[in-house]
Structure 1
């Protein structure tokens, strides 16, 4: 998988379209969750894009400390359903963590994890914090690294 890191103003229209398409495909359609994905925060995010054979298959968005949480954060972690068996989720997370260290000069990261993915995030050094909660009707938990 080829990974690129871009600020919002560096995204092409085609890349933005495919980011929104992938997020809707997984978070809205696959997870059957109606929520406001276009939340006005993409312009402040660092976009981590994974492509395989020219197709967008993985994505995250990252924020500097103090924007989303007190710590830097990773969100909208997504891998195309039929591509999950290839380890792209781990690759995109590893790159996202490194991008936060390199671009935002911090190792302190917080995310809001879907609870069924706790072990995935733990494998990247995150630890659960506090009680679980519902976010858009899906069980989540705060995790920090």
Structure 2
């Protein structure tokens, strides 16, 4: 079941599972040591799929930049046991719909890990500038026109 919720709307179990999935993926699996819980969750809109067994299957968060001039999203992940089922595509559709509804007319800019650039290009994101290292991982900025 797909959910779109602010931080205050998340229940304890969903929040725990979201943080556990993100940490397992972006810290443990990718062997990156960094503060994964970074303070952005408090202002983010959380887009996720919960399986019938109440497991977080796919997740992303959407929020305005600190200056409020751009909208961004990140922590895009599908749990390993749910990959290959089209959840990533549905997640991106919901992320872009959420941005269009809640942040209309604001340009989108993300920082994508290099290996997922082709995924974002399918949704009309284009590279901005040169690759850079963020949290021990090569990234590139990508932009999209306002929705």
Question: TM-score higher than 0.5 here?
Answer: yes
Q: Is the 8 A contact 2:17 2:56 kept in 1?
A: yes
- Which position in structure 1 is the counterpart of 2:29? 30
Residue 111 of structure 2 is aligned to residue 112 of structure 1: yes
The normalised TM-score by structure 1 is 0.92
For structure 1, list consecutive stretches of 5 or more residues without a partner in the other structure: none
- Which position in structure 2 is the counterpart of 1:128? 127
Q: Is the 8 A contact 1:110 1:142 kept in 2?
A: yes
Distance in 2 separating the partners of 1:99 and 1:127: 20
RMSD, aligned α-carbons: 1.4
Residue 59 of structure 2 is aligned to residue 59 of structure 1: yes
Q: Secondary structure at the match of 1:131?
A: strand
- Which position in structure 2 is the counterpart of 1:18? 17
Q: Is the 8 A contact 2:74 2:110 kept in 1?
A: yes
Distance in 2 separating the partners of 1:94 and 1:113: 17
The normalised TM-score by structure 2 is 0.91
Q: State the shift of 1:68 in Å.
A: 6.8
Distance in 2 separating the partners of 1:9 and 1:68: 22
Q: Is the 8 A contact 1:100 1:106 kept in 2?
A: no
Q: State the shift of 1:29 in Å.
A: 1.2
Q: Is the 8 A contact 1:69 1:110 kept in 2?
A: no
In the TM superposition, structure 1's runs of 4+ consecutive aligned residues that sit over 6 Å from their partners are none
- Which position in structure 1 is the counterpart of 2:102? 103
Residue 44 of structure 2 is aligned to residue 45 of structure 1: yes
Distance in 1 separating the partners of 2:69 and 2:116: 22
Distance in 1 separating the partners of 2:13 and 2:60: 17
- Which position in structure 1 is the counterpart of 2:70? 71
Distance in 1 separating the partners of 2:40 and 2:97: 21
